[in-house]
Structure 1
Amino acid sequence: MTQVLLGSVLSAMSTGLGALLILFLPGSITHRWRDVILALTAGIMMAACMFGLIPQSMESGGLLALSIGMLLGVGTLTLLEKNIPHIDLQHSKSGIEFDEKALLIISAITLHNIPEGLSVGVSYASNIEGTGNLIALAIGLQNAPEGLLVALFLVNQKIGRFKAFIIATLTGAIEIVTSLIGYSLTSVIENLVPYGLAFASGAMLFIIYKELIPESHGDGNETTSTYAFIIGILFMLLLLHI
């Protein structure tokens, strides 16, 4: 339990680490850098799914468990996407502009973090050495740029930089709670582990293909983003084999 708590805290607080940059940035960030960060993150998460979660789900539960769990993960994210407002970025070479209301964005990001927290908890419950740390790292790396984007949005809404940093950090805190829930459920009901791993992979693949990749290709930086995506995959493969 100590390990899953530590992993979930570090993963969740990565949101705050990304938001911390808002205290030092003179203004916004260019789309080129934002696209590179998003694509790199997508590559890291893709490798974690394809070479970590999916093979382990198949090994422990078979194709049926993998299919059911993955479809549940994708379905959950689809429902969240359809019913909860999300950050929509207006592409501009000068920076990032937001047009959503602050309260809606904070609520949306917080709720979108629920499946990510479950993914971390389930991964620790799998009892496969290194899986929990691997997924916590992948989710944490995804949370960092998300935290910065939320903080940038709040600053654009005339909220003070320090206050924006605190609020953005808190949006990731729900992952700690949901991580412990995912860990507890799959620890008590052992047969849920392959379904949980597949659920995590489905949720992460949805985020990669529906959000990260499209958002990294919207401002003419497709080639650079593609390189960053491949580097992200290689980086995670390196971690898997250390």
Structure 2
Amino acid sequence: MDVNLGILISAMGTALGAVPALLLSNLSHRFKDNLLAYSAGIMVAASTYALIPATLKLSNMLVLTLGILLGTLTLTLLELLLPHVEADHRNHPSHQANPLLLITAMAIHNIPEGLSVGVSYASQFEELGSLVAFSIGLQNLPEGFLVCLFLVANRVSRAKAFLYTAFTGVIELISSLAGLQLTDQYLGLVPYGLAFAAGAMLFVVYKELIPESHGDGNERSATFAFVLGLLTMIFITDLSL
């Protein structure tokens, strides 16, 4: 897949996922939790079966460890320092969301996802960029759906909800291009960038997606959804590499 096309398709996943949210309402909390868990499974598989093995092939365990810890620490600091609100996907929210705060939260998540796509395309593994771009785009579909649905439920107009959600995809597009340009000019950063992206994605999974998918008594169905997402991405990885 062409680099620019792959980056664009990956970033567009958020906007595409938002479209059905404009048409649907009154979805069960179980359905939303299962979507979150499915996304978590995709991200874990993308990290452990694509980004981490590629890092080890290009470098060593020390680089992997440093990169993952740096990614985790960076996301921790961003969450502590940047004002934001997490999307609480309750059926009947009790307060009106501030779209700017939610966009900040999405940016915290989307920047490392975009970087992972850009860095993967800059690596020497021809199929890695397309694989990571596809996996990120795939998990962006339910992510965009849930964010747009959350905004609509908080009395944001459907047009604005779509635009806000699509804008988070633009943030991911910019970070993808930044990751591509930076590591393309400094190839020695590629393994660090891959490990950084893996650590940041695993942080999002464990800190945000899994706890939220288990927060309303849907642990069992969410667990099966997580495994299904994991298997989906492993299957795609097996076909691609």
Aligned partner of 2:22 in structure 1 is: 23
Q: Do 2:79 and 2:108's aligned partners in 1 also have CA atoms closer than 8 Å?
A: no
Per-residue deviation, 1:107: 2.9
Alignment of 1:218-237 (within 5 A): 218-237=215-234
Aligned partner of 2:209 in structure 1 is: 212
SS at match of 2:26: coil
Q: Within 2, Cα distance between the matches of 1:98 and 1:107?
A: 21
AA of the residue aligned to 1:97: P
Q: Within 2, Cα distance between the matches of 1:157 and 1:40?
A: 24
Aligned partner of 1:12 in structure 2 is: 11
AA of the residue aligned to 1:37: L
AA of the residue aligned to 1:33: F
- Per the alignment, do residues 173 and 65 of structure 1 end up closer, same or farther by CA in structure 2, a change over 3 Å counting? same
- Per the alignment, do residues 184 and 96 of structure 1 end up closer, same or farther by CA in structure 2, a change over 3 Å counting? farther
AA of the residue aligned to 1:16: A
Aligned partner of 2:75 in structure 1 is: 77
Q: Within 1, Cα distance between the matches of 2:180 and 2:161?
A: 31
Alignment of 1:63-142 (within 5 A): 63-84=61-82, 85-89=84-88, 91=90, 95=91, 97=93, 99=95, 100-142=97-139
Identity %: 51
AA of the residue aligned to 2:80: K
Indicate the larger mover: 113-122 or 76-85. Answer: 76-85
Q: Within 1, Cα distance between the matches of 2:153 and 2:231?
A: 35
Aligned partner of 2:170 in structure 1 is: 173
AA of the residue aligned to 2:40: A
AA of the residue aligned to 2:233: M
Q: Indicate yes or no: 2:41 matched with 1:62.
A: no
Q: When the two structures are superposed, what TM-score results if normalisation uses the length of structure 2? A: 0.91
How many residue pairs get aligned? The number is 237
AA of the residue aligned to 1:48: A
Per-residue deviation, 1:103: 2.2
Q: Do 2:99 and 2:164's aligned partners in 1 also have CA atoms closer than 8 Å?
A: no
- Per the alignment, do residues 172 and 90 of structure 1 end up closer, same or farther by CA in structure 2, a change over 3 Å counting? closer
Q: Do 1:119 and 1:196's aligned partners in 2 also have CA atoms closer than 8 Å?
A: yes
Indicate the larger mover: 222-231 or 103-112. Answer: 103-112
AA of the residue aligned to 1:173: V
Per-residue deviation, 1:129: 2.6
Per-residue deviation, 1:200: 0.8
- Per the alignment, do residues 28 and 4 of structure 1 end up closer, same or farther by CA in structure 2, a change over 3 Å counting? farther
Runs of 5+ unmatched residues, structure 2 = none
Q: Within 1, Cα distance between the matches of 2:117 and 2:92?
A: 30
Q: When the two structures are superposed, what TM-score results if normalisation uses the length of structure 1? A: 0.91
Aligned partner of 2:184 in structure 1 is: 187
- Per the alignment, do residues 128 and 202 of structure 1 end up closer, same or farther by CA in structure 2, a change over 3 Å counting? same
Indicate the larger mover: 197-206 or 168-177. Answer: 168-177
- Per the alignment, do residues 17 and 36 of structure 1 end up closer, same or farther by CA in structure 2, a change over 3 Å counting? same
Runs of 5+ unmatched residues, structure 1 = none
